[in-house]
Amino acid sequence: MTNTNMVDATNVSFHYGDRYVLEDVSFTVPKGAFVGLVGPNGSGKSTLIKIILGLLKPQKGQVHLLGNQVNKFQQWSKVGYVSQKANSFNSGFPASVFEVVSMGLTSKLGLFKFMNAKHKKAVYDALALVGMEAYSDRNIGELSGGQQQRVFIARALVSDPDFLILDEPTVGVDAGSTSEFYNLLGRLNKENGITLLLVTHDIGTITDKVTHVACLNRTLHFHGETEEFEQFNESDLSDFYGHHVHVLNHDHGHGGV
Amino acid sequence: MIQALLKFEFLQNAFLAGILIGVIAPLLGVFLVVRRQALIADALSHITLAGIAASLLMGKYVTSWQFVNPVYMGMGFSAVGSLFIEQLRKVYKHFEELAIPITLSGGIGLGVVFISLADGFNSDLFNYLFGSVIAISRSDLLAVTVITIIVLAVVILLYKELFFLSFDEEHAVVSGIRGKWIHIVFILIVAFVIAVSMQIVGVLLVSALMTLPVAASIRIAKGFKQTIFLSILIGEASVIGGLILAYYLDIAPGGTIVLLSAIILVIILILKRWQQGKS
């Protein structure tokens, strides 16, 4: 396997019964890239992420993560993950910001090992990177949605990953914090050299930040560099979204998902 | 009281066992509460009672069995019950809390059958229902000590994994933590702690010792470690204060301990309210 791709997914298909969520998707994340994976709700984005992380097994196709087959992948500390549900934790949970970020070191430390001064410094450094170092003693539940999201990014960054996967990280975050947040991601990619894969249903706000775009709606409709994507004509795009809107209405009419 | 404490072995046993339980019950209680599994303690205490009843019943037929401490059979039942709960939670993925009433009522059913087979209640069994400080023997104290050492070792060694799993299980598993095994180890030590705590506070009150101190500390603590520390502090204050009060007022220690922790909880809630009102 080549070492230049963080993710190499080839001909991946996934279905629940006879309903295909992903069909013959081939998808790569080159090293150093900032890939925006866009698609309407229910397009299979989260399923693809779960397959990349080895949480779901595709019925067809192969996935390599950092050059290793994903089911044999061990170096989880090199991959940071911020899930869509990161914000849906129990907000009464009595954990300080410092403690939440330290969780990110759990697998790097390994069983029966404790944090030392170096690890504590790594936690403060990660908090500084996202501009939250002043909040380290606060309980996580006391922070705003945007601040919590930064803390979860810090948790993903603390193990010094090469690759960061963010699954709709701005759900429930206000617009102002969202654009600040994308600036932060841009800096992490450019200045810290972290490869990013950002999943979002919001195509417009990210095209000036990402280096690559992938449009997914069951199949991959477009996958390439951002400049090419900007030439991807509008009727193609509305086809891509328009088709879906129809499906959604249809589902609603039948009391579906 | 100091003199009595020096003179009577049973008082020493009670205080030492109480102090140890005052550490381990709230310690594990913190993890149960934040995972919204506080009721597991109730389910397991009822299963433990069934085990103790079974042990007392066997003692009726096999004379040599009478020398076996019933707590051990209680622990065995509690351990099996805890694994049963974990299994049920998997079966009813979307109704995880169903595991609690199933196990709780199963435990009571089994206990009642054993009790009736043994021709009804005797004073031994009654002690386990409401706790009896006088009944704590040196062998009970030994059991509590061993369990305390195991619990402290497990929680210290697996602290970061337990914390991560409690906060966000899915993410913890994505990060490569072996959640399944850690769950089993955790639920087993909960089962053991419940079995040994029963003699002090009794079946009906044991879950209170695991949850009330946590309920109080969670309102005022900053961070998880502080929550654990305060829970243990409140647990100790309740156990030691409760035993002293019970001695002087000549009232049931189990109930006194639990009432004292409830009073501490109410005071903390009122102080917190008052403080919030001021700012």
Question: With 80 as the cut, is the pLDDT of residue B39 above it?
Answer: yes
- Crossing angle (nearest 10°) for helices B70-91 and B99-117: 150
Q: Specify the CATH number for the domain of residue A190.
A: 3.40.50.300
Total domains in chain B come to 1
Does residue B96 form part of some domain?
Answer: yes
Residues of chain A with a CB closer than 8 angstroms to some CB in chain B: 53, 55, 74, 76-77, 81, 83, 85-86, 89-90, 92-96, 98-100, 102-107, 109, 111-112, 115, 137-139
Tokens standing for residue A49 = 């992420």
Does residue B172 form part of some domain?
Answer: yes
Alpha-carbon gap, residue A71 to A79, rounded angstroms: 14
Does residue B165 form part of some domain?
Answer: yes
pTM: 0.85
Domain that residue B18 falls in: 2-204
Does residue A71 form part of some domain?
Answer: yes
The answer to whether A81 contacts B163, with C-beta atoms less than 8 Å apart, is: no
Give the H or E element holding residue A80. Answer: strand A79-82
Does residue A40 form part of some domain?
Answer: yes
Does residue A139 form part of some domain?
Answer: no
Question: With 50 as the cut, is the pLDDT of residue B78 above it?
Answer: yes
- A160 three-class SS: coil
Does residue B162 form part of some domain?
Answer: yes
Residue from B160, B169, B178 to probe the interface with A (highest A Cβ count within 10 Å): B160
Q: Which among A141, A150, A213 has a CA at the least distance from the CA of A181?
A: A150
The answer to whether A112 contacts B161, with C-beta atoms less than 8 Å apart, is: no
pLDDT tens profile B186-220:
999 999 999 998 878 888 888 899 999 999 999 99
Dihedral sign for Cα atoms in the order B261, B262, B265, B270: negative
Total domains in chain A come to 1
pLDDT of residue B166: 93
Question: With 80 as the cut, is the pLDDT of residue A235 above it?
Answer: no
Give the H or E element holding residue A12. Answer: strand A5-16
The answer to whether B223 contacts A137, with C-beta atoms less than 8 Å apart, is: yes
Amino acid at B97: E
Between A192-206, B117-131, B209-223, the lowest mean confidence (pLDDT) is in B117-131
Q: Which among A150, A151, A148, A137 has a CA at the least distance from the CA of A182?
A: A150
Alpha-carbon gap, residue B101 to A164, rounded angstroms: 42
Q: Specify the CATH number for the domain of residue B69.
A: 1.10.3470.10
Taking CA atoms, what residue in A is nearest to B225?
A: A95
Does residue B24 form part of some domain?
Answer: yes
Domain that residue A61 falls in: 5-89+162-253
pLDDT of residue B152: 97
Alpha-carbon gap, residue A100 to A89, rounded angstroms: 11
pLDDT tens profile B129-175:
888 877 788 888 999 999 999 999 999 999 999 999 999 888 888 78
Does residue B233 form part of some domain?
Answer: no
Q: Which among A77, A51, A81 has a CA at the least distance from the CA of A63?
A: A51
pLDDT tens profile A60-116:
999 999 988 888 888 888 888 888 766 667 778 999 999 999 999 988 888 888 888
Amino acid at B18: G
Neighbours of A185 (CB within 10 A): 20
pLDDT of residue A177: 75
Does residue B174 form part of some domain?
Answer: yes
Query: Contacts of residue B174 in chain A, CB cutoff 8 Å?
Result: 53, 55, 76, 81, 83
pLDDT tens profile A145-181:
888 888 998 999 998 899 999 988 777 677 777 778 8
Q: What percent of chain B has pLDDT over 90?
A: 57
Question: What are the two backbone dihedrals, phi and then psi, of residue B7, each rounded to the nearest 5 degrees?
Answer: -85, -45
Q: Which residue has the higher pLDDT, B227 or A243?
A: B227
Tokens standing for residue B63 = 């004379």
Does residue A141 form part of some domain?
Answer: no
Does residue B247 form part of some domain?
Answer: no
- pLDDT band per the 50, 70, 90 thresholds, residue B222: very high
For residue B224, give the nearest of A55, A99, A107 by CB distance: A99
Question: With 80 as the cut, is the pLDDT of residue A254 above it?
Answer: no
Query: Contacts of residue B164 in chain A, CB cutoff 8 Å?
Result: 103, 106
- A74 three-class SS: coil
Does residue A15 form part of some domain?
Answer: yes
User: Mean pLDDT across chain A, nearest whole number?
Assistant: 82
pLDDT tens profile A51-68:
998 888 999 999 999 988
The answer to whether A103 contacts B221, with C-beta atoms less than 8 Å apart, is: no
